[in-house]
Amino acid sequence: MNWDSILFWVMIALWVTMPAFIAYEEIKERRALAETLKEEA
């Protein structure tokens, strides 16, 4: 089995998933904050 190519794609998946998850959380929190502000207004 070619472990190098498997691990390479695992690495790419980690590398893509991690920032994507962080960006998703950040956008979710900013949107929730914006909604709170709108309700207040």
Interface residues with another protein (CB under 8 A)? 2-5, 7-8, 10-12, 14-15, 18-19, 22-23, 25-26, 29-30, 32-33, 36-37, 40
Cα dist. 16→20, 35, 39, 41 in Å?
A: 6, 28, 35, 37
Minimum distance of another protein from residue 18's CB (angstroms)? 6
Minimum distance of another protein from residue 3's CB (angstroms)? 5
Query: What single-letter amino acid sits at 3?
Result: W
Q: Residue 27: in which H helix or E strand, if any?
A: helix 3-40
Minimum distance of another protein from residue 7's CB (angstroms)? 4
